[in-house]
Structure formats: C-alpha cells, structure tokens
C-alpha cells in the first residue's frame, strides 16, 4: 500500500518555470519526475511505478509473440560502429568518450550493430532462424535541443527489437507480428495512435511505418484522410496523378511578353487582365503555372550537381519532402555564381525547355506527379520578361523523372479515395522498419541455407520509445486539474482520501477500507496525512491522477463514502460495505 504520509513525493502548487507543455508540467508538479540534467530526468517513486507499468506492458506484448529479451552494455567500443559506418554517420548526436588508455568509446544511441554481431557470434544455420530478440534500455543521444520533458531527452528508454530471417517472406511475417503487437501495446497503454507510412515509395525503400500519437506539441507533421484510413508522414505523402488530358486538344505553345511579373501572383493578374491572354472560359490561377526551382545537391562523396524541380505554381517546394527524396544528398541553394556558370538559365524565367539531361543545360529535371502528359502550363520562357503559355507536357517538354517534393496542403485529395486530407501534428512513439541486409552485410552476418550456400540474413528493426510513451500518455491524458492515468499505467487503482482530524473516525475507517481493497487485489494509494486540509487532499488526488478516488469523509457517520471517477468527474455516494465490490467491477 502506498501511503502519502510517507511516500517520497512532494507536489508543487505552482508550475515549474522550465516546463512548457502540459504533460511535462503536471508530471513535475505531481512529483513523478524531476529534471536532473539537460534532457535527463530522475524518476521519483510514483513516476517509476508508471514507467515500470508501461515497460511491463511493452514487455508482455513482446513476450506474447515469443520474442526474447536480452541486455547490452550502454558503454561500447568504437569498432562495431566503425564497421557499420555510424561512428562518423551519426555525427554530433553520438556521445563519444575515451577510456583511460585513450581508446574511443561511445554511449549507445541504438544497438543495431550489437544485435547483429551477437547473432553472428552464435548462429550460423538457416535452422536457427527466424529469431527475434529485443531489449528495453536507456539510449544516449546528444540531441541539439532536448525539449518537452520526456518527449525528447538525451537519455531515454527505448524498447527495440530485431528480427533475423533467411528471406523476405520471413521478414514480412515478423514485421506483421510487430505491427499487431504494437497495436495491442498502444491500446493497453490507453494511447490513441495513427499508423503512417514513413518512407516514400519513390525511394524504392522497404516497408516502414511509424506509430504517431496525435499531439499538438509533437514534432512530426502528418496527413490523414478525412474518410478512409490513409495516413502518411508528410515526407511520404504520395500525390495521386490526375488523368492525362487529351494531347490533341492542346493549342500550340505561345511565347508572350509579360513585363513586371516577378511573382506567380503578378503573372496570373497580368494574364487575367490582358484581353489577348485571358483564358476563354475562366480566370487563370496559380495552379495553371509551372514553377521551376533549381537547387544544388551535395552528395556524400563531396561532389555536387544541379537539380531542377517543377511544381504547380500554387505551391512551394517543401524542403523536407525534397530532402527525403534526394537523401543522402544534401540540398544547397543555387547561388548567383551557379547561375553565372549556367548561361542557359535565366533567373526568374527558367523554363522546362532549358532543363533536362538532354537539354543544353544538362540539368536533371524532375517534376511533381501532377504534371502528367497533356497538361498545359504557363511557365518561364528562358528569356527575361517573357513566359510561354500552353506549354504541354509530353509534347513540348519531357521531364527526366517524377518527384514528391511539392507542399502538401490541407484539403488535398487523398491518393487512395480522393477525399480531402487533413494535416495534423503528432509524435513518433513507435517505428517498424524492414531494415533488409544493410547491417548484416556490413557486419558479415550470414548463415548457410538448405543447399549449404552462404546467405546474408535479412533484418527488421522495431522500436517503441518507452520513456517518451510516459510523456505522451501524460500529455494525452490530463486536464486543468492534473493527470488522468489510464488504469493499466496508473500508479494505483484507487486513491483513498481520509478527511478529518487525527482523532476522527475517518482515518481508521479509511485504513480498514484500504486493507480490504488490497485483499481484493486493488492497488491502493492512501492519503493518510494528518493535519492536512481536505482541500489540499482533494487537489492532490486530482493532480496525481489515479483513475478512481474514494473520499472517506463526513458521510461516514451514515456509513457512506464518496466514489469519484477522475476522468469524468462523476461522483456518487456508496455504502461503505459495497465499495470494494464496486471498485473491483471497475478493473
């Protein structure tokens, strides 16, 4: 039994100055956690109970699938990470240190290498597979900016598992098992979630999905369909290409003088205001224009190349989406010097006819999926102050490829069903990812198959942020009075408040009730503090957020106590004799 009279906790009346988001504030005010380092938190007894409940649920759902838990050191030597390339790839986010002999060490940011090497150590036959092993451990990342309490720390707890299979079919099976296990886990944690595709098909990547908790304070932007179940990370949104208009209907392209039209809007206004340029049956809009942006790509080997991106003029190029498409190359602005070096490009009037690998400029030209053959565009004519009208894709120009880099707008059609998409914010709480053979290849994890031939193992990696989940649960389950824990993660099932003086009958009655509750299998938090006013006790009960509150107060004279649901605020009087039975029904 937890007794508030002796529990190591101090609730705060006022908000801590350094906590911004509601969940974080309440976790600190309720005495669940304390900040101990930038991005590092101490778990106080109540917080540690909640943490362990979350961990237990995650573990139970892993074990249910037959996955096996292992435990690694957090302090690791450089070599494995050197071999996989991540000693350098991880950059500044890796915590590096040296031992007394000057040997490079690191604090593990994640353990792919160690899992892979461990399996390589022990297994060498296809008969040993499939295998799934997992860990629940603290990870260390030197985040540039920790924020929002538990939502982004520099030391944090994560469950991650790895699957090892001989072939893609086996990988798919383990991927699906994790997907199902994660859905069960988040349901039990009382967390709403959205599963979004995390990697664009244009990358040709393997399957990867993120579990996002819908939180306004989250760091990820995603879209979801207002009608069907389509959802995707913004980076991964696929635009449904329109049906190609008939090419034969397209009038010939015509170059026109368009002075003083530095922006899309001024161009559209001029077109609509000039009788000779007006559209026969409607106004031109920005969506009729084709905007061409040139950037420089810096490739990992240090070389650079230019890339031109064509998007409809009513939307900008989304740099994050573009980066996701061109990764691992990095994007740099196209400078004046670059323009000077490319005389075929007229700044502000770049047109498709000067772009493309086969064009005089030789610059690779990729376009938004909306730019299908037969679509007609107003776009730059590669000549200052001039644009071209009715330039028709597939007839007047052909792009080198398609790219998903245009901004996604609220209300864009869903690629699956065509209904409007909505844009929302969330935070990643789980990620399932078909890694494939990258680590197995780099670290030499192979087994012999049935024919005695060497086969590279294929892997999957699956993570749940455990400490982050605690932060997200708090954020998702709170009101202006305090936290409201889902029952399975709550530090107790029932919070019993005894009012009255030390000599009043309420305290012994509450003690007796608490004992009976425990016998009935309920986890009890008893507020047995004496000399504390009822107001403080009620407020603390609401702040701490145990799902059910029982007040042993002035009704006791009539044999009654008050039973209150923390979430709804509903309360009613119950005969003392019936309380335990009613509480058990809540479980």
Partner RNA sequence: CGGGGUGUGGCGCAGCGGUAGCGCACCUGCUUUGGGAGCAGGGGGUCGGGAGUUCAAAUCUCCCCACCCCGACCA
Binding residues (CB under 7 A) for RNA: these are: 10-20, 29, 35, 37-39, 93, 110, 139, 141, 143-148, 152, 156, 158, 219, 319-320, 323, 428, 431, 433, 463, 465, 468, 481, 499-502, 504, 530-536, 538-540, 542-543, 551, 553-555, 562
Q: How far is the CB of 223 from RNA (least distance, A)?
A: 16
**Nearest to RNA of 433, 439 (CB atom):** 433
**Nearest to RNA of 278, 320 (CB atom):** 320
Q: How far is the CB of 158 from RNA (least distance, A)?
A: 5
**Nearest to RNA of 269, 511 (CB atom):** 511
Measuring CA to CA, how many Å separate 290 from each of 251, 338, 408? 17, 22, 16
Q: At which residue do the structure tokens 């007394």 appear? A: 100
Find residue 565's DSSP bridge partners: 548
CB under 8 Å to 430, separation ≥6 — which residues?
Answer: 182, 185, 186, 193, 210, 211, 462, 463, 464, 465
Q: How far is the CB of 26 from RNA (least distance, A)?
A: 10
**Nearest to RNA of 12, 515 (CB atom):** 12
Q: How far is the CB of 219 from RNA (least distance, A)?
A: 5
Confirm if 572 and 558 have CB atoms less than 8 A apart.
Answer: no
**Nearest to RNA of 90, 397 (CB atom):** 90
Whether the ω angle into residue 328 lies within 30 degrees of 0, i.e. cis, is yes
Q: How far is the CB of 308 from RNA (least distance, A)?
A: 20
Confirm if 327 and 319 have CB atoms less than 8 A apart.
Answer: no
Q: Coil, strand, or helix at residue 284?
A: coil
**Nearest to RNA of 440, 543 (CB atom):** 543
**Nearest to RNA of 166, 231 (CB atom):** 231
**Nearest to RNA of 412, 562 (CB atom):** 562
Q: How far is the CB of 160 from RNA (least distance, A)?
A: 8
Q: Coil, strand, or helix at residue 202?
A: helix
Give me 529's structure tokens.
Answer: 């503090």
**Nearest to RNA of 381, 435 (CB atom):** 435
Q: Coil, strand, or helix at residue 305?
A: strand
Q: How far is the CB of 434 from RNA (least distance, A)?
A: 12
**Nearest to RNA of 236, 391 (CB atom):** 236
Run of H or E residues at 200: none
Measuring CA to CA, how many Å separate 54 from each of 47, 145, 147, 432, 494? 11, 25, 21, 19, 18
Q: How far is the CB of 7 from RNA (least distance, A)?
A: 14
Find residue 436's DSSP bridge partners: 459
Confirm if 517 and 494 have CB atoms less than 8 A apart.
Answer: yes
Q: Coil, strand, or helix at residue 21?
A: coil
Q: At which residue do the structure tokens 């030197």 appear? A: 142
**Nearest to RNA of 101, 145 (CB atom):** 145
Between helix 45-64 and helix 168-188 the angle, nearest 10°, is 140
Q: In terms of DSSP H, where are the helices of 4-66?
A: 22-29, 45-64
Run of H or E residues at 265: helix 264-273
Q: How far is the CB of 217 from RNA (least distance, A)?
A: 7
**Nearest to RNA of 198, 399 (CB atom):** 198
Integer Cα distance of 210 and 462 in angstroms: 10
Confirm if 2 and 524 have CB atoms less than 8 A apart.
Answer: yes
Q: How far is the CB of 90 from RNA (least distance, A)?
A: 9
Q: How far is the CB of 231 from RNA (least distance, A)?
A: 16
Strands 548-552 and 494-498: parallel
Integer Cα distance of 273 and 283 in angstroms: 9
**Nearest to RNA of 153, 351 (CB atom):** 153
Measuring CA to CA, how many Å separate 319 from each of 224, 309, 323, 332, 408? 20, 11, 6, 10, 12
**Nearest to RNA of 18, 257 (CB atom):** 18
Q: How far is the CB of 425 from RNA (least distance, A)?
A: 10
Q: Coil, strand, or helix at residue 487?
A: coil
Integer Cα distance of 374 and 249 in angstroms: 9
Measuring CA to CA, how many Å separate 75 from each of 104, 134, 467? 11, 18, 20
Q: How far is the CB of 108 from RNA (least distance, A)?
A: 11
**CA torsion through residues 441, 96, 89, 459, sign:** positive
Q: How far is the CB of 147 from RNA (least distance, A)?
A: 5
């Amino acid at each position: 039994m937890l007794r508030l009279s002796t529990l190591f906790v101090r609730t705060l009346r006022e908000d801590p100055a350094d906590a911004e988001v509601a969940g974080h504030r309440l976790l600190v005010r309720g005495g669940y956690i304390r900040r101990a380092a930038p991005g590092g938190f101490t778990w106080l007894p109540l917080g540690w109970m909640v943490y362990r409940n979350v961990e237990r649920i995650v573990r139970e759902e892993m074990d249910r699938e037959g996955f096996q838990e292992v435990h690694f050191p957090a302090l690791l030597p450089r070599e494995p990470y050197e071999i996989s390339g991540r000693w350098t790839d991880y950059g500044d986010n890796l915590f590096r240190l040296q031992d007394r002999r000057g040997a490079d060490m690191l604090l593990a940011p994640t353990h792919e290498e160690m899992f892979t090497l461990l399996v390589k150590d022990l297994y060498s036959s296809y008969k040993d597979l499939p295998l799934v092993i997992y860990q629940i451990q603290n990870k260390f990342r030197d985040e540039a900016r920790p924020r929002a309490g538990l939502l982004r720390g520099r030391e944090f707890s994560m469950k991650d598992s790895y699957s090892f299979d001989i072939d893609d079919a086996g990988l798919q099976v383990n991927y699906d098992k994790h997907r199902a296990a994660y859905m069960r886990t988040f349901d039990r944690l009382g967390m709403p979630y959205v599963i979004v595709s995390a990697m664009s098909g244009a990358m040709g990547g393997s399957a990867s999905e993120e579990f996002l908790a819908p939180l306004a304070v989250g760091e990820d932007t995603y879209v979801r369909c207002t009608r069907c179940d389509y959802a995707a990370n913004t980076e991964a949104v696929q635009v449904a290409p329109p049906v190609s208009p008939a090419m034969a209907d397209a009038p010939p392209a015509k170059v026109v003088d368009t002075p003083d039209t530095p922006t899309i809007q001024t161009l559209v206004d001029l077109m609509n205001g000039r009788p000779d340029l007006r559209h026969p049956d409607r106004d031109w809009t920005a969506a009729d224009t084709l905007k061409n942006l040139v950037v420089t790509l810096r490739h990992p080997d240090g070389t650079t190349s230019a890339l031109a991106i064509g998007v409809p003029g009513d939307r900008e190029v989304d740099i994050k989406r573009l980066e996701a498409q061109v990764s691992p190359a990095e994007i740099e602005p196209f400078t004046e010097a670059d323009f000077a070096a490319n005389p075929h490009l007229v700044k502000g009037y770049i047109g498709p006819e000067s772009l493309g690998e086969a064009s005089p400029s030789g610059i690779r030209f990729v376009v938004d999926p909306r730019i299908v053959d037969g679509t007609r565009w107003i776009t730059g004519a590669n000549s200052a102050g001039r644009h071209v009208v009715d330039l028709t894709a597939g007839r007047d120009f052909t792009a080198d490829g398609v790219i998903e880099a245009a901004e996604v707008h609220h209300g864009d059609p869903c690629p699956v069903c065509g209904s409007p998409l909505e844009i929302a914010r969330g935070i990643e709480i789980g990620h399932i990812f078909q890694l494939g053979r990258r680590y197995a290849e780099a670290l030499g994890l192979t087994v012999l198959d049935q024919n005695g031939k060497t086969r590279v193992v294929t892997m999957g990696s699956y993570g749940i942020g455990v400490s982050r989940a605690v932060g997200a649960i708090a954020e998702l389950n709170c009101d202006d009075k305090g936290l409201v824990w889902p029952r399975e993660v709550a530090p107790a099932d029932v919070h019993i408040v005894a009012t009255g003086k030390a000599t009043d009958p309420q305290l012994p009655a509450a003690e007796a009730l608490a004992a009976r509750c425990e016998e009935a299998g309920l986890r009890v938090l008893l507020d047995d503090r004496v000399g504390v006013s009822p107001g403080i006790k009620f407020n603390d009960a609401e702040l701490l957020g145990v799902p059910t509150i029982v007040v042993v107060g002035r009704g006791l004279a009539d044999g009654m106590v008050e039973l209150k649901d923390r979430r709804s605020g509903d309360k009613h009087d119950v005969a003392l004799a019936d309380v335990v039975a009613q509480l058990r029904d809540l479980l």
